[in-house]
Amino acid sequence: MSQTTLIVGLDGSDAGKRALDFAKARAKLIGDCQIMLVYVIEWSPFSFQTAEENEKRHARREEELQLAHERVVGPAVQATTAEGCAATGVVQHGDVADILEGLAKEHSASQIIVGRMGERNMKERLFGGVTGRLVAASSVPITVIP
């Protein structure tokens, strides 16, 4: 029997913490389970800038990745492993739904666990937020934590 992988979307919110708590409880029930903690910084590669501006943008992007790892993912991985669960952390720039789904496929995850968004803006109401897009298009079950 192979190890089960659970993908948890983190965003630094209370809902993300509840999603992680849910995943830890599931992992303990499953036994041989890996929790992959994922923080995605929304990032559009489309921009019309000079080469100098793009260089600065790239440096800022790298800083953001490092800060997200230091402030959110690293501490969450450390706390999760301290509780006896196997955990890894991933921080990436891009589209949240696409990255979570891609990692689920790449690692043959059995489930993606995310926190429900609180207030939504008009764009999300019209076009659907990350959670809605995941539920509609994911290749694995999605658990949405209130």
Helix/strand/coil for 55: helix
Domain 4-118: CATH class, spelled out: alpha beta
Question: Is-contact 37 88, C-beta < 8 A?
Answer: yes
pLDDT truncated to tens, each residue of the chain (146 aa)? 578 999 999 988 888 999 999 999 999 999 999 999 999 988 665 556 666 776 777 678 888 899 999 999 999 999 999 999 999 999 998 888 999 999 999 999 999 999 876 444 444 444 457 788 888 888 999 999 98
Provide the whole-model pTM: 0.84
Query: What size, in residues, is the chain?
Result: 146
Give exposure, 67-105, as e/b (b: 16+ Cβ within 10 Å): ebbeebbbebbeebeeeebebebbbbbebbbebbbebbe
Radius of gyration, alpha carbons of the chain = 16
Sign, CA dihedral 40-63-118-146, equals positive
Domain boundaries, the chain: 4-118
Residue with token string 């991985």: 77
Specify the pLDDT at position 114. Answer: 93
CA 126, CA 139: separation in Å to the nearest integer? 23
